[in-house]
Amino acid sequence: MLKISDLHANASGKEILKGISLTVNAGEVHAIMGPNGSGKSTLAQVIAGHPGYEVTGGTIEYDGKDLLDMEAEERAQAGVFLAFQYPVEIPGVTNAYFLRAAFNELRKARGEEEVDPMEFLDIMEEKLKLVEMDATMMQRSVNAGFSGGEKKRNEILQMAVLAPKLAVLDETDSGLDIDALRIVAGGVNALKRPDNATIVVTHYQRLLDYIVPDSVHVLAGGRIIKSGGKELALELEAKGYDWLLEPAGV
Amino acid sequence: MSSSIESLVNKEYAYGFVTDVESDTIPRGLTEETIRLISAKKNEPEWLLDWRLKAYRRWLTMTEPHWPNVTYAPIDYQAQTYYSAPRSVKPLQSLDEVDPELLKTYAKLGISLTEQKRLTGVAVDAIFDSVSVGTTMKTELAAVGVVFCSFGEAVHSHPELIKKYLGSVVPYSDNFFAALNSAVFSDGSFVYIPKGVKCPLELSTYFRINAADTGQFERTLIVADEGASVSYLEGCTAPKRATNQLHAAVVEIIALDDASVKYSTVQNWYAGDKDGVGGIYNFVTKRGKAQTNAKISWTQVETGSAITWKYPSVILQGDNSVGEFYSVAVVNNRQQADTGTKMIHIGRNTRSTIISKGISAGQGQNSYRGQVKVLPKAEGARNYTQCDSMLIGNACGAHTFPYIEVANNTATLEHEASTSKIGEDQIFYCKSRGLNAEHAISLIVAGFCKEVFKELPMEFALEAQQLLGISLEGSVG
């Protein structure tokens, strides 16, 4: 589904990603771990198409298409979803309106009819339960005045509604208490299907107690320095990152 | 700001066409003779001509104000034409007699004056250059005693009301442009709502400038008698021309005891091209006087004009009277706007609310200028002001000039202000959910303006939202 080959990317002229290669197949969950400043969030943003990063080398193939050639909205319409580390506030625009606009853009891209607000309400009802959110949240402005936990749950709600093929969760666990973490992880697990894939970017192992990965990759200094199964996460939890960094020359 | 925000393209001004009608246009220039000529063409009574001449003589002694935060080349008042009317406009028995070219013009603007396609619940007065070409729904309104007609008509049909109220809120000596308007005004709308009547229809005036190098100087007078209420909306467009055209209007509102007037404007005059060539100079004086328990509410969406100079105000004369000002002002390319309001608290327990949303894009300069004045007798006066600016790109400007004068220490005034920038982050967030950049911007801007849009009559709120989207296209830079 996703094939990243020797990806290099700069931010403000500084090279952050220094040759990343990663293959993700349908039905898989991959965890990207690593110390702060290793390039984890940059990788997530580059996949989603953030204009603040300049790709200087390598390729990303998604569903047989050249992902790097697509605008961010085209990627979203093709089923790529990024759950933001810092969800953005849009004052004055209700959550319901925003999410329906997004939902309809995706439908239009697939050649499907747009849904009206009443139909959308029905769709929402079920998804809200998944993340244990109250319907009144839909009438509040997008992320404005939301607590940290509400923002993250709102991201998962959007993911549930937009039903992506490839979801990238960027530090979705940061700033969450244990209950919120359980709800968020429960949402992610409930959305897992054989035909979609998830990349979980995280600093801590604890999220992986709830979302069990098929593969774990350690990103440091802009490169993947180690890959392994879910047991690698536990090893990292016990030993930290240092034992990996020095041999890798980071 | 980065290139993704920079890539949107300018959409053409959709209302920039010219209607080919034969016009009765007077020679350029302004003298006492010009004024006599306009007055004669309108077959006006002597007292009105005298009033115009007094205004003109006063105007000669005044100088154009240069305190607004706008710059433009000097205006040659002798190079303007002060009256132009389509030749076919004569006193009409019914709207069926309106020149089909004019009907077509309004149809193109989305305003139907013919029987079948009218907006339900809205009566329209259509002003083309210097004259009214027709007013719809007159009989429906007459049934409840509401007078809604062109100003010129009202001078003849309701001279006592015009005599009593003309200049009573904005005297001809008020300011340079008000004096000019008082001297040369050619038409406009007149509204009278009798005692206790709630006007059953939305009233609407549609202003269209067509002729070249012609100024439009309309005058609107709205009188809501005791306990009456009305909602009134005006819309404006003009052809695209390379020269600047002058629009100097005056609007006076009188809300007697317990009356309520809501006045909404969607201003979309031609704004000039992206290099600032052409466009309307919109120099407008709007003011209302609210008596005991009366309420006057201004809502404006200002997207057009090369230069806007406009401060819809309320004199809170009577005890417990209420004044409101809700404004969205958008500048793009080289547009300049200096707009805001004045709330003059005279009576006791008077309340005013000011919500101003300024959006600046391109190289546009947007200034909010507002005055809240509490006079010594205004016990318990309250004002709430919220003034938000949004910047799109790095070449535009937002400025705020609040003036507060309080002469009664029981008054409560609140002022909140914010400046924000449409961020790459907000746009990327929308894009990552499948919305393109244009859709993202219109969504973010609509959210920013929500508190103002909800004050507009339903049909127009939608129109305003779309208009904003069009005005900002190409802005994100």
pLDDT (tens digit, 9 = 90+) per residue, B367-426? 999 999 999 999 999 999 999 999 988 889 999 999 999 999 999 999 999 888 887 889
Please give the sequence-ordered ranges of beta strands (E in DSSP) within B80-238, or none if there are none.
Answer: 84-86, 122-128, 131-135, 147-150, 189-193, 202-208, 219-224, 229-237
A167: chain B residues, CB-CB within 8 Å: none
* pLDDT score for B477: 41
- Residue A62 CA from chain centroid, whole number: 15
Closest CA to B125 of B45, B22, B221: B221
User: Would you call B434 and A106 a contact, using CB atoms and an 8 Å cutoff?
Assistant: yes
DSSP lists the bridge partners of residue A31 as A200, A216
Cα–Cα distance list, B355 to A108, A156, B317 (Å)? 37, 35, 21
pLDDT at A156 over 70: yes
Q: Is B237 exposed, middle or buried (CB count within 10 Å of its CB: 0-12, 13-18, 19+)?
A: buried
Q: What is the residue-wise DSSP string for B336-380?
A: EEEEEEEEEE-STT-EEEEEEEEEE-TT-EEEEEEEEEE-TT-TT
Please give the sequence-ordered ranges of beta strands (E in DSSP) within B248-350, or none if there are none.
Answer: 250-255, 260-267, 279-290, 295-302, 307-310, 313-316, 322-331, 336-345
B462 touching chain A per CB within 8 A:
no
Alpha-carbon distance of B223 to B333, in angstroms, equals 38
Confidence of residue B296 (pLDDT cuts 50, 70, 90): very high
* pLDDT score for A33: 95
pLDDT at B266 over 90: no
Asked whether A200 and A32 are in contact (CB, 8 A), the reply is yes
Over range A190-211, report the average pLDDT.
91
Q: What is the pLDDT of residues A99-138, one digit of tens each?
A: 999 999 999 999 999 999 889 988 999 899 988 889 898 9
Residue A18 token pair: 């220094």
pLDDT at B220 over 60: yes
CA distance A164 to chain B (A): 10
User: Would you call A90 and B425 a contact, using CB atoms and an 8 Å cutoff?
Assistant: no
B399 touching chain A per CB within 8 A:
no
Task: Give the residue from chain B lying closest to A164, CA to CA.
Answer: B433
User: Would you call A88 and B423 a contact, using CB atoms and an 8 Å cutoff?
Assistant: yes
User: Would you call A73 and B3 a contact, using CB atoms and an 8 Å cutoff?
Assistant: no
Cα distance from N-terminal residue to C-terminal residue, chain B = 6
Q: What is the pLDDT of residues B350-365, one digit of tens each?
A: 999 999 999 998 899 9
pLDDT at B97 over 70: no
CA distance B436 to chain A (A): 6
Q: Which element (helix H / strand E) includes A215?
A: strand A215-220
Q: What is the DSSP letter of B214?
A: B
Alpha-carbon distance of B358 to B345, in angstroms, equals 25
Q: What is the pLDDT of residues A14-38, one digit of tens each?
A: 999 999 999 999 999 999 999 988 9
Cα–Cα distance list, B297 to A26, A74, B204 (Å)? 59, 44, 15
Domain boundaries defined on chain A: 2-248
A163: chain B residues, CB-CB within 8 Å: none
Residue B286 token pair: 């709007």
- Residue B429 CA from chain centroid, whole number: 36
Alpha-carbon distance of A118 to A115, in angstroms, equals 8
Going A83 to A88 to A91 to A92, the CA torsion angle's sign is negative
Considering only residues A91 and B26, tell me which one the structure prediction assigns the higher pLDDT.
Answer: A91
Where is mean pLDDT largest: B17-26, B267-276, B460-469? B267-276
List b or e across B255-265, with b for residues whose CB sees 16 or more CB atoms inside 10 angstroms.
Answer: bbbbbbbbbbb
User: Would you call A51 and B2 a contact, using CB atoms and an 8 Å cutoff?
Assistant: yes
Q: Which amino acid is at A27?
A: G
Length of chain A, please? 250
Cα–Cα distance list, A56 to A3, A11, A19, A178 (Å)? 17, 10, 10, 39
Alpha-carbon distance of A108 to A228, in angstroms, equals 40
Residue B45 token pair: 């009574």
Q: In percent, how much of chain A has pLDDT > 90?
A: 74
Q: Which of A67-81, B86-100, B234-248 has the lowest mean pLDDT?
A: B86-100
Task: Give the residue from chain B lying closest to A162, CA to CA.
Answer: B433
Over range B322-346, report the average pLDDT.
94
Task: Give the residue from chain B lying closest to A110, CA to CA.
Answer: B434
Residue B247 token pair: 């629009």
Count of alpha carbons within 13 angstroms of residue B407, beta-carbon side: 11
User: Would you call A88 and B4 a contact, using CB atoms and an 8 Å cutoff?
Assistant: no
Residue in B4, B433, B446 nearest the CB of A102: B433
Confidence of residue B207 (pLDDT cuts 50, 70, 90): confident
* pLDDT score for B4: 32
Alpha-carbon distance of B402 to B311, in angstroms, equals 12
Q: Which element (helix H / strand E) includes A202?
A: strand A197-202
Asked whether B419 and B401 are in contact (CB, 8 A), the reply is no
Test the A interface: residue of B431, B442, B455 with most A CBs within 10 Å: B431
Closest CA to B208 of B93, B312, B144, B131: B131
Cα–Cα distance list, B335 to A43, A142, A192, B269, B340 (Å)? 41, 31, 52, 11, 16
Test the A interface: residue of B6, B432, B443 with most A CBs within 10 Å: B432
Q: What is the DSSP letter of A240?
A: -
B165 touching chain A per CB within 8 A:
no
Alpha-carbon distance of A147 to B320, in angstroms, equals 40
Q: B118 Cβ partners below 8 Å, 6+ apart?
A: B112, B124, B136, B137
Alpha-carbon distance of A47 to A151, in angstroms, equals 21
Count of alpha carbons within 13 angstroms of residue B453, beta-carbon side: 18
B418 touching chain A per CB within 8 A:
no
User: Would you call B434 and A90 a contact, using CB atoms and an 8 Å cutoff?
Assistant: no
Alpha-carbon distance of A188 to A179, in angstroms, equals 14
Over range B50-69, report the average pLDDT.
95
B365-374 and B397-406: which strand pairing?
parallel
Confidence of residue B451 (pLDDT cuts 50, 70, 90): confident
A-B contacts at Cβ under 8 angstroms? 84
CA distance A85 to chain B (A): 11
Asked whether B311 and B282 are in contact (CB, 8 A), the reply is no
Confidence of residue B293 (pLDDT cuts 50, 70, 90): very high
Alpha-carbon distance of A43 to A66, in angstroms, equals 16
pLDDT at B459 over 70: no
Alpha-carbon distance of A161 to A155, in angstroms, equals 10
Q: In percent, how much of chain B has pLDDT > 90?
A: 53
* pLDDT score for B92: 54
Q: Please list the helix, strand and coil fractions of chain A in percent, rounded to the nearest 5, in that order.
A: 40, 30, 30
Alpha-carbon distance of B391 to A69, in angstroms, equals 30
Over range B32-60, report the average pLDDT.
95
A88: chain B residues, CB-CB within 8 Å: 423, 425-426, 428-429
- The B residues from 419 to 458 touching A (CB cutoff 8 Å) are 423-426, 428-437, 439, 443-444, 446-451
User: Would you call A75 and B429 a contact, using CB atoms and an 8 Å cutoff?
Assistant: no
Task: Give the residue from chain A lying closest to B450, CA to CA.
Answer: A92
Count helices and strands (H / E) in chain B. 11, 23
Confidence of residue B111 (pLDDT cuts 50, 70, 90): low
Alpha-carbon distance of B212 to B217, in angstroms, equals 14
* pLDDT score for B369: 95
A49: chain B residues, CB-CB within 8 Å: 428, 431-432
Superfamily of domain A2-248: P-loop containing nucleotide triphosphate hydrolases (3.40.50.300)
Count of alpha carbons within 13 angstroms of residue A177, beta-carbon side: 4
Geometric angle at alpha carbon B377, from B372 and B382, rounded to 5°: 40
- pTM, whole model, 2 decimals? 0.83
Q: What is the pLDDT of residues B117-137, one digit of tens each?
A: 444 556 777 777 666 666 777
* pLDDT score for B270: 81
B213 touching chain A per CB within 8 A:
no
Considering only residues A184 and B261, tell me which one the structure prediction assigns the higher pLDDT.
Answer: B261
